[in-house]
Amino acid sequence: MDTSDKTEKLLPKEPTDLPKEPLDLPAGRQDLPKPEVQSDQNSSSHEVKTLLAWTAPGRPFRKRSRQYYLTSLLIMFLVEIILFLFSQYLLMFVVVSLVFVAFALATVPPHNFHYRISTEGITIEDHFFLWQELYDFYFRKIENVDTLHIRTHAFIPGELTIPLGDIDKTHIRSVLLPYLPFREIVGQTFMEKSGNWLSKNFPLESSNQVAS
């Protein structure tokens, strides 16, 4: 027998029962049409919408008179002498640091911040706060400037102080009420009461200069 016949017998034969066309496949194995992707009709309700946006200084600011700086320096020197007599050198450094910060804040005006209230929360420049992170809000005047105060659940920052600028309080209150409760009366803390008492009885500048 020829060797070529032997090799042909050993080679596997091609199966003859395979389907040749896709139509020969069983009904269960035919390609099913792909489901169409339907657009969500309620997607518009989940969009983040801007409710109110404005630009105002980053903090309440009022230009101080020369008397303010002279009186502050005089008080600082008296306190420094007392601390030096009691050898409280660390406290002396703290007092000088606090006076330096107060002078810097009173001298350099703040730059404008961009504030935005949306359906998801409040944006202050690059910082964003969700509604779930905020507690309530109220209004107060600081340096004759209307400010919005929003308290947070977390200890830090604790409270957001936002100058209103040209925004009316009634307008911003109507925007915030669906998301946060409004506190009409807020009691002053011990530090606030002490500061008001000192500024009233020991003013750093005269009332005429403060009004100007």
Query: pLDDT by residue (tens digit) across 62-73?
Result: 888 899 999 999
Q: Please say if the pLDDT value at position 31 is more than 60.
A: no
Band the pLDDT of 177: cuts 50, 70, 90.
Answer: very high
Say how many residues make up the chain.
Answer: 212
Distances from the Cα of 165 to the Cα of 9, 54, 56, 59, 62, angstroms? 96, 8, 5, 10, 14
User: What pLDDT shows up at residue 143?
Assistant: 83
What are the pLDDT digits (tens) for 197-211? 877 877 877 765 554
User: What gap in Å lies between CA 117 and CA 141, rounded to an integer?
Assistant: 21
Percent of the chain whose predicted confidence (pLDDT) is above 70: 76
| CA proximity to 174, closest of 120, 210, 137, 149 | 137
Give helix 89-107 / helix 66-85 axis angle, nearest 10°: 170
Q: Please say if the pLDDT value at position 12 is more than 50.
A: yes
Lowest mean pLDDT among 34-43, 85-94, 162-171: 34-43
Task: Please give the residue that has the higher pLDDT: either 102 or 191.
Answer: 102
Lowest mean pLDDT among 36-40, 97-101, 128-132, 187-191: 36-40
Band the pLDDT of 6: cuts 50, 70, 90.
Answer: low
Residue 144 CA from chain centroid, whole number: 24
User: What gap in Å lies between CA 84 and CA 45, rounded to an integer?
Assistant: 66
Exposed / middle / buried, residue 121 (Cβ in 10 Å: 0-12, 13-18, 19+): middle
CB 163 within 8 A of CB 55: no
User: What pLDDT shows up at residue 211?
Assistant: 47
Q: What backbone phi and psi angles, to 5 degrees, belong to 19?
A: -70, 140
User: What pLDDT shows up at residue 3?
Assistant: 54
User: What gap in Å lies between CA 160 and CA 147, rounded to an integer?
Assistant: 10
CB 162 within 8 A of CB 57: no
DSSP string, 173-203: HHHHTTTS-B-S--PPPHHHHHHHHHHHHS-
SS3 146: strand
Band the pLDDT of 7: cuts 50, 70, 90.
Answer: low
Band the pLDDT of 9: cuts 50, 70, 90.
Answer: low
CB 180 within 8 A of CB 150: yes
What are the pLDDT digits (tens) for 99-145? 999 999 999 999 999 999 999 999 999 899 999 999 999 999 988 89
Distances from the Cα of 194 to the Cα of 16, 82, 83, 174, angstroms? 100, 21, 22, 33
Q: What domains can you pick out in the chain, each with its CATH number?
A: 50-56+63-186 (2.30.29)
Q: Which two tokens stand for residue 121?
A: 């929360």
Band the pLDDT of 152: cuts 50, 70, 90.
Answer: very high
Mean pLDDT of 72-76: 92
SS3 33: coil
Residue 81 CA from chain centroid, whole number: 42
The mean pLDDT value of the chain amounts to 82
